[in-house]
Chain A
Amino acid sequence: MELLQKLTILSDSAKYDVACTSSGIDRAGRRGSMGSCSAPGICHSFASDGRCISLLKVLLTNVCVYDCSYCINRRSNDLPRAAFAPRELADLTLQFYRRNYIEGLFISSAVLQSPDYTMERMIETLRILREEYRFRGYIHAKTIPGADPGLVQKLGYLADRLSVNIELPSERSLNLLAPDKHRQAILRPMGQIAAAGAQSRQELQTYRAAPAFAPAGQSTQMIVGATPESDRQILRLTEGLYKKYSLKRVFYSAYIPVVEDTRLPALDTKPPLLREHRLYQADWLLRYYHFSAAEILTEEEPNFNPYLDPKCNWAIQHYGMFPVDVNTAPLELLLRVPGIGPRSAKRILIARRQAALDLEGLKRIGVVLKRAQYFLCCKGYGGSRQPRRETVVRALLDPMAFNAGCEQLSLFSAPQVQMLADTGLPPQIAGRMVQEEVVTRFAQKM
């Protein structure tokens, strides 16, 4: 088979994998080798769906002995199949890397013959890259569930980041949709990787030349919308994973129906992109804003508000806690103010040591006053005096949920807007109607 055809099949099969970041490790270049890594990661392109392309994301093969129902590569699906030879993939990676198309390789695979056999071929690919070609760029490898722990260990010393996909948010769903995979077979390697990573970091502290095990940490991903879990369940699971396995990232992928199956949403179901977006926003709140999952979603409201980002939603529900004085508040409190992000919060901390901040100064720093004005006070501004609640709600609403004034129906519109538009109403008008209703309803609740 020609290389072009192989690449097409094996990138097409890999495209639903979310993670494409090259972040988490700094590694300078060195004479006699090729490549380097930069901790913030580098995006090399953006695909037609707006997602970053940083790594050559392919499967080593899409031939699979398993039959997970949500997956296009499952055994029972009729699909063109292909496999890279390890050296072939290593060569392609290097050629792409030289031309600065990519930061490195994201290698995963369907299960060819057995998990161990598949892992050995992945290891061989990375060995060629690292040892023969002296490649110092980024490598993300996805371990195969059920593979021997010794092989996971080997893979970890060649890759920068490892991932084990948790696939679905609950054991029940996993049993139902991926009968060949077991929760334990997923969590065990996660635990192993976390432990090996911690040990390697310790060794590196005492002995600088010690080999590094997955120095950019591990990540995972789960499919959202194929199964009935609530947002709260998903977010609590996420929080647990960050704590227990010190994961670097949890990725979510809105389920796109790829197969007709009675256990799954119908083929014409739209991917829940707004929900996925809210999950990422909440995930940011966990990682950068000192929020806990229990603060973001409660038992009474276990699902995200489609119309507000989770931080604004929290602010409206805790309106009594504001205004925050930007000239004295600690970082955690600054981060609770809608319109202040981690970057502007840090700048506030530095700038207020030089002089007390007023509204003009905050604007120059990059605070979004349109939202923040109702939640802060500063020099010369005692806070917004008794604003109309409707005004506050209106300032916080996420325009994206209301079709953002676009003529075409956006994939990110709230379900309510989509439903109205489906009855034949122009999307712009549907968006405006829902918005008016939401403003009144939320203002009453405040």
Chain B
Amino acid sequence: MCCVFESFRRKTLPLAIWPPEQAQLTLYDCRDIPTEPAFAVRVERSLRPALGPRAEELVHLAFLSGSGEKELLLLRFLHTAFARGTAAAWDYAHPDTAPVLALERAVTEEAHLLMGFVRFQVHEGMLGAVIRPKHYALPLLRPHFCGRYPDSDFLIADLTHRVALLYRGGRAEYVEIEEGFRLPPPDAEEAEYQALWQQFYKTIGIRERYNPTVRRTHCPKRYWACMTELMDER
């Protein structure tokens, strides 16, 4: 089973490319089990017919989680699911399904937050942003931002996973990035818009309702370092 899963993970998830250091992190469970691509393709292909489209989606999304337990939890789920068929994904109260649903939720919630929290800077007509998410959210951000800026080239660099989503000339791809990747410093016009945004942010809060706790619940501090208006408040 471990082998199935390992090969499944490395060869057949079409969602993303995997940064090398992360592959190593998760390799240890299965280190000495040889990968069999043909078998993995079979597992991936059988997901939908055997377990239904919801289970397929669930597995794909939960898989993007940054949690160290995800392999084990997914394995357990697949184990029960292949025994039970399509019902498994809908059995929300089952001890093997509920944790995978939780993984999925964490991933989609972070992706949703990032759709708002990503901050682009404009450099010579190109948009560039840096994020440090817990989960591997780029595959979920890809359709959103490609749809939002169909005619601008952009790059979103995920420093946690050392991968960037690069959209150029209407085509998107994932590229590996170096450790210590940085955006170029802002030019005068960029600096002006950043200042305008920071000023708007400061002004729009109502002093009589100051509420740092609620702000932190909605916008956890770990995102602040990459957000133009909050980086100085940390």
- Which chain A residues have a beta carbon within 8 Å of chain B's beta carbons? 3-4, 7-8, 11-12, 14-16, 28-36, 38, 40, 42-54, 56-57, 92, 95-96, 98-101, 103, 254, 256, 270-271, 273, 347, 350-351, 353-355, 357, 360-362, 364-365, 411
Contact = CB atoms under 8 A, between A and B. Distances in A.
Interface string B76-104: 00000000000100111111001000000
Given A34-B151, A350-B90, A365-B98, A50 B213 contact: yes
Contacts of A33: 150-151
Interface of B: 87, 90-95, 98, 112-113, 115-122, 127, 129, 144, 146-152, 170, 193, 195-197, 199-215, 217-219, 227-230
Contacts of B150: 29-34
A4 B196 contact: yes
B194 to A, nearest CB: 8
A68 to B, nearest CB: 19
A7 B192 CA distance: 13
A212 to B, nearest CB: 19
A365 B94 CA distance: 9
* Consensus secondary structure, chain A interface: loop
Contact of B120 (A45, A49, A100, A347): A100
A98 B152 contact: yes
A98 B93 contact: no
Contacts of B212: 48, 50
Contact of A43 (B93, B116, B211): B116
Given A42-B112, A42-B115, A364-B95, A3 B196 contact: yes
Nearest to B146: A29
* Consensus secondary structure, chain B interface: helix
B151 A28 contact: no
Interface centre among B91, B204, B205 (most CB of A within 10 A): B204
A57 B204 contact: yes
Contact of A47 (B121, B146, B215): B215
Given A15-B206, A47-B215, A98-B127, A53 B90 contact: no
Nearest to A58: B200
B209 A8 contact: no
Contacts of A38: 115, 144
Contacts of A32: 150-151
A362 B92 CA distance: 9
Contacts of A36: 144, 147-148
Nearest to A40: B112
A273 B227 CA distance: 28
B91 A355 contact: yes
B200 A31 contact: no
A347 B92 contact: yes
30 contacts: A7-B203, A28-B147, A29-B147, A31-B170, A34-B148, A34-B150, A34-B151, A34-B152, A36-B147, A43-B113, A44-B116, A44-B117, A45-B116, A45-B219, A45-B229, A47-B201, A48-B211, A49-B207, A50-B212, A53-B204, A95-B193, A98-B152, A99-B122, A100-B116, A254-B209, A351-B91, A354-B90, A355-B94, A364-B92, A411-B209
